[in-house]
Amino acid sequence: MDGDVPTYRRNFRTTLALEGDKAPLIRGAAASETTGGPEVSRSVTLRAADDVDSSVDDPLLVPGSPPPFALPVDRYYFVRNVFLLLGVVVILPWNFITNASDFWMYKFRNVSAPYDYSYTHKTPLQAHVFGAFSVASTFPSLIAVYLGTLFNHKIRQETRNILGFSLCIAFFAILTAFVKVNTDNWQVEFFIVAVVLVALLNAFVSWLQGGVMGLAALLPSDYMHNLVIGMAVGGLFASILQIICLTGHTDPTAAGLAYFICAIFVFVVTLACFVAMLSTDFFIHFMKHPEASIQNLVSLSDLEITVSPLLVLRKVWPQALSALYALCVTQAVFPAITVLIVSSNVGSGSLWTGRFFLPVCCYLLFNTGDLCGRIACSYLPLDERHEKVVLFLSLARTVFIPLFMLCNAHPRHYLPVIFDSDVAFVLLMATFSFSNGYLLCASMLQVSRKVESYLQERAGFLMCSAIMTGLTIGGFLTVLLVKLL
């Protein structure tokens, strides 16, 4: 062995060869802690293997020694399933608000004419409501995520996440209270109130999402994958509920009430599961004592190291840019542009080409394709060695913007209709949604595998910031694209 280069090796009696104050190479300055017996100092010194008094004949276990190191078990996959629920919750408000299109079309209808279920002749408020929601939800959400990235470490994760849950439930309850209120005589004022409530709701949901993604980044990659899958399941759940309401010929206000009450119920159930998860041994192991895990024998807090977000960004910029751009393109056209597209046979009087066309071919198809893309990523993954491929495919999705704008969207004033076929719209939507789910999932999984364990929470916050930046840019593009139709 080269005498100038010290080496380190495992000691059978301890996790690492640790000694006191003799010629330290690396020393942690953390405070001591109590582990159920005498006070044990966590201030440790890593010693060169040559300086450790240990024999190969030492027994693997000696009487009175602590039990061998073992990871806690996620019993019944409870923590994994909670992260699936958390994925549903962080995407659920936006999906329930956009899938309640019948409710918003009814609220902002022309009150002096019979209600048009085909939405061929839209009022200005009907035409711009989803564009306004996109801008109102994304910009405050971006601010919330950036503030969370800067200040979340100053608030205990239990406190900030439970507070985020509580505020989301409160704003959903206020929105629900307006469902049965007659707003026909003050539609503009209600439009403003709805936009403000959607902005506040999505801001706190994004704050919650940043915290949840940070937690998922500290766990094995399967938990991040479950979180990403849950986001797609939330959209699919909202679409199925919308179709059920339409099948039962539910009154638009009753359907809106069903959406929002169901959302509150899911939030409350997930909050209860989240609180229960906080006390599980598996969660505590990764959240409270990461220094005890195999990958984190010495943590950043032990070494009192502060890591700049720019350092993490340099490691994950391809994944962050891929997620940012993929969601920017998605937000630019879905749902503000796609919700304006009508069937080429809309005047036939058929329920399929009228009332059911958008719920099935727009919302249900998008959320189904998005979920299939995320599931496919787990079986046919593009790992970190193919990060440039994922980035290229995300940039290539730009082509969907003009393609959807040339579909049969109404009202329109400037662009011609080139793809008036319903089949063309369905094929576009299927490809669009599948690529969205696959590329987003690939980016998130690459980060969890690429970044060192002690940087994963920071990387999770940065990915959430990239996602919200993409959604914000796409939300502003939406307003411009609707004007260009």
* Domains and their CATH numbers in the chain: 1-54 (no CATH), 75-298+308-484 (1.20.1250.20)
Sole residue written with tokens 């990403």: 228
- Contact between 257 and 179 (Cβ < 8 Å): yes
pLDDT, tens digit only, all 485 positions of the chain: 445 444 444 433 333 333 334 443 433 344 444 444 444 444 444 444 444 454 555 555 555 555 555 678 888 899 999 999 999 998 888 888 888 888 898 899 888 877 665 556 778 888 888 888 888 888 888 888 778 767 766 778 788 889 989 999 999 999 999 998 999 999 999 999 999 999 999 889 988 888 888 788 788 878 888 998 998 898 899 889 888 888 877 788 888 898 899 999 999 999 999 999 999 988 988 876 554 444 444 444 444 456 667 777 888 899 999 999 999 999 999 988 998 898 888 777 777 877 788 889 998 999 999 999 999 998 888 877 888 999 999 999 999 999 999 999 988 888 999 998 999 999 999 999 999 999 999 998 888 778 776 677 778 778 888 888 898 899 889 889 988 98
Dump pLDDT digits (tens) for 153-195.
677 878 888 998 999 999 999 999 999 899 999 999 999 999 9
Residue type (1 letter), 394: S
Dump pLDDT digits (tens) for 264-303.
999 999 999 999 999 998 898 887 655 444 444 444 444 4
The reply to whether omega before 411 is within 30° of 0 (cis) is: yes
Helices 221-247 and 78-99, packing angle to 10 deg: 40
Greatest pairwise CA separation for the chain in angstroms: 93
Closest-CA residue to 468 (of 134, 190, 114): 134
* Long-range contacts of residues 12-16, Cβ cutoff 8 Å, at least 24 apart: 12/54, 12/58, 12/59, 12/60, 13/54, 13/58, 13/62, 13/65, 15/69, 15/297, 16/44, 16/46, 16/297
